[in-house]
Each structure stands twice: as structure tokens, then as C-alpha cells.
Amino acid sequence: MPVEPGKIAEAMGEAMRYLRNQGRLTVKADTRKDEAGKLNGMDVQNVSWQGKNSKGDVTIRFASVSVAENRPLLVAYWCSPEAERKHRNELKKMLQSIEKS
């Protein structure tokens, strides 16, 4: 989802509230990981947590991609660790399809 500049944390908070309300998701706050990197030449900030929902363990990931100056794009997904491993290639292709504007 496109996000207003300077409102990445707010957008992540809204997404987390949605996840908690829809999936009875609990987040283990002490598992937060922040990683900076590049994606197709664009700056990206990855933030992830471990948690649980009614079906078991989940991984929650956000990627904030600077697709243009003052135009961040926030990508979010959550799934079981097993599903993330199984669909790693598809997730990678999806992220690599993001291009600069």
C-alpha cells in the first residue's frame, strides 16, 4: 500500500491492529528485527516479528520500499514459518517485481 511520507510507523500500526483483530494474533515484541537493505536499487527497511495466532506460530513482515522520493510503499505479509519457507521463491518474485516510479 502506498503510504504518506513520514507515516510508515502509523501505517504499520494500522496493519498490526487489523491482524490482531482479524486473526487473534499475538506478537512477541522482543522478537522484533530491523534490517536495512536494497531492492532493485531502492532503499528498503524490513521489520519483522514472531507471533502466534489460532493456528500456531506466525511470522509478520513489513518492507518499506522507497519507490520514489517521498513515496514509500509498504508491503506486509504474515504466515506460518513453514508457509514462508515453502513460498520463499514466490515471495521473492513478488518483492522483486517492485520498480522505481
Q: Give the model confidence (pLDDT) of 52-76 as tens digits.
A: 988 899 999 999 998 988 888 999 9
pLDDT over threshold 80, residue 23: no
pLDDT over threshold 80, residue 5: no
The mean predicted confidence, pLDDT, of the chain is: 90
Predicted pLDDT of residue 87 = 97
| CA separation for the pair 44, 63 (Å, rounded) | 6
**What values do phi and psi take at 24, rounded to 5?**
50, 50
Contact yes or no for 75/8 (Cβ under 8 A): no
| CA separation for the pair 16, 24 (Å, rounded) | 11
Residue in this structure with the C-alpha cell 504474515, named with its chain if needed? 78
pLDDT over threshold 70, residue 2: no
33-50: pLDDT as tens digits? 999 999 999 999 999 999
Indicate the domain borders of the chain. 8-96
Contact yes or no for 11/67 (Cβ under 8 A): no
pLDDT over threshold 70, residue 1: no
Measure Cα distances from 16 to 2, 20, 38, 65, 97 in Å: 16, 6, 24, 18, 24
